[in-house]
Structure 1
């Protein structure tokens, strides 16, 4: 590779010619890492695959997945003869790293540990750890103001306005929310199955009962299988493809469930489009990737609730959003400010190898436009040495928990 000429004001230069931005997407169905080297008119990019996170009694093992993927990247660099930095034990020079993590606010024991892993494995002192719903927003709208609805096992909508304030709707988990998501659809399907099993005059589906019996066995065993499972939400959501198939085959109850799911999701998205949010929206996630009764219901009901909203296709994935975040962290770190607990940022808050905090280099103030990363205004008063990095406790506007 030829050297890259960088200006003296380039924060990633540090006298090193070739630097990488690294992004990760860590989820329940798998994990991915993309590393990008700006090299000529088109950046050079490699992508690696990793295992899904596991849910343990102590929470998610996301930090272990992040460590494994980072090691895969450095091993790839060594194997392919990429230039290494002697100051970083011969590893490739990484300007910044960002990761989007599933279950960040509920299942990850310590986001700070994920920061530590990125710093230790990649020898970088610019790291961002975000919820995957937030990186989904950045990927879908490329950082533009508006709202994005992420639909998978759960459902959550994020938006931000031209003042940089975040807003959130749903994302409260299957006991309190996630209305219209996979877990909700699966739960409604099994209720329809038990109604058919009981012989109730309304609300049953013989088609869904047959499918559930084939998957779960005798009905009396279902409560123990679900109530005693540490992975109940995912088990319920795994039944959603069967509901999709049954709806295509003409099962009226399945069609009704998907229609109601679309109504719930439209309401969630409309709620996120609070006053002051541009009327621009998108959806992302495996349940809305293809046209279905669910997506048609969502679009129709959103048009009824908010006829002014422009619903656009997603411009990218959560991994694209994480890469967008890493790029900005490398290029304009002063414009990347945390929104706790959905986004925490470290910039020179610790040494590249996880050393002590630099008490004098981590207080940043950002002024953002509608096309830049959102900022929690309450997070302006940064406290160096905070366990999560350079930011002190935030009092976010909107509904973030």
Structure 2
């Protein structure tokens, strides 16, 4: 009997199936999120497509799915659980990718999972076993300090320099490598199904420019770190840092230093979101159960 773990985010879909000592895995395309239009259908299609890349050990005992946007779209989470359970004919648990990240990092122990990737979300499990969330409100109302925010501020700085409203920056050359001419950058962002993900594509260039000493990029990164530190101050540690932005040296090192300056403990995660999805699938009575939808 195999346990299937799914980590479905905006930038990718990872699936791992474990049966005894045997493990197989695959990676596919992500989706904007369950809260998006037809989010459950898009998520299901992404999962099925990625499953198609696996030589899946059968039968399947249970499936755990961490999907971006599940907390904001409970009806879509229920629909996704029903679709996956019917497709694999096995009990299916669906929760947000923040919960599976926390479960992978802490395995039900108290602490705060700080995820800084395309978006930003902090999930805390306190000593009383209560889960609470800070930020994770999406690109238009939240996600402070995220890859989307860093990329967006970087492109704003490029256009300000282009207009003469802001200082010159090496980000201009980086933006031209991504898209030219600069005058059509607004359309480049708008003419996509996932504008936040499009903006986040520029974040690695901002981080690289900051590491190389560009003053404009360094200011953007420092402000992003400040935003995440303020979010951490609203929660309780210890803290695990995850996500592509948090994993970068220029951002992650600065964030760790700022948290330690405040006397806040930063610890290494025990596992990742796939481990958390497997934990959710295997443990129906965990501290996370109030945030999990089960079908099948």
| Pair in the same fold by TM > 0.5 | yes
| Aligned CA distance change for structure 1 residues 181 and 107 (closer, same or farther; 3 Å) | same
**Counterpart-to-counterpart distance in 2, 1:121 and 1:161:** 36
**Counterpart-to-counterpart distance in 1, 2:230 and 2:82:** 38
Cα distance per residue 1:311-364 (max 9 Å; x no partner): 012222111111111221xxxx34476434xx3223xxx5xxxxxxxxxxxxxx
Cα distance per residue 1:100-127 (max 9 Å; x no partner): 1123345797222221233222221x32
Kept in 1, the 8 Å contact 2:26–2:51? The answer is no
Is residue 22 from structure 1 mapped to residue 4 from structure 2 by the alignment? yes
**Counterpart-to-counterpart distance in 2, 1:164 and 1:180:** 27
Partner of 2:293: 344
1:45 to 5, 16, 23: 23
Is residue 302 from structure 1 mapped to residue 259 from structure 2 by the alignment? yes
Partner of 1:264: 227
| Aligned CA distance change for structure 1 residues 282 and 209 (closer, same or farther; 3 Å) | same
> Structure 1: any 5+ residue segments left out of the alignment?
1-18, 78-91, 274-278, 351-401
Is residue 134 from structure 1 mapped to residue 134 from structure 2 by the alignment? no
Shift of 1:133: 1.3
Q: What TM-score, normalized to structure 2?
A: 0.89
Partner of 1:157: 122
User: Moved runs in structure 1, 4+ residues, more than 6 A?
Assistant: none
1:244 to 183, 200, 207: 207
Partner of 1:58: 38
> Structure 2: any 5+ residue segments left out of the alignment?
none
Shift of 1:268: 1.4
Greater RCO between the two (CA within 8 Å, min separation 6)? Answer: 2
Q: Which entry has the higher C-alpha Rg, 1 or 2?
A: 1
Partner of 2:180: 217
1:223-238 correspondence to structure 2 within 5 Å? 223-238=186-201
Partner of 1:96: 62
Q: What TM-score, normalized to structure 1?
A: 0.67
RMSD in angstroms over aligned alpha carbons?
Answer: 2.4
**Counterpart-to-counterpart distance in 2, 1:254 and 1:50:** 31
**Counterpart-to-counterpart distance in 2, 1:282 and 1:232:** 28
3-state DSSP class of the match of 1:157?
strand
Higher helix share: 2
Shift of 1:71: 5.1
Is residue 326 from structure 1 mapped to residue 281 from structure 2 by the alignment? yes
1:65-84 correspondence to structure 2 within 5 Å? 65-70=46-51, 72-73=53-54, 76-77=56-57
**Counterpart-to-counterpart distance in 1, 2:31 and 2:76:** 15
Count of aligned residue pairs for this structure pair = 293
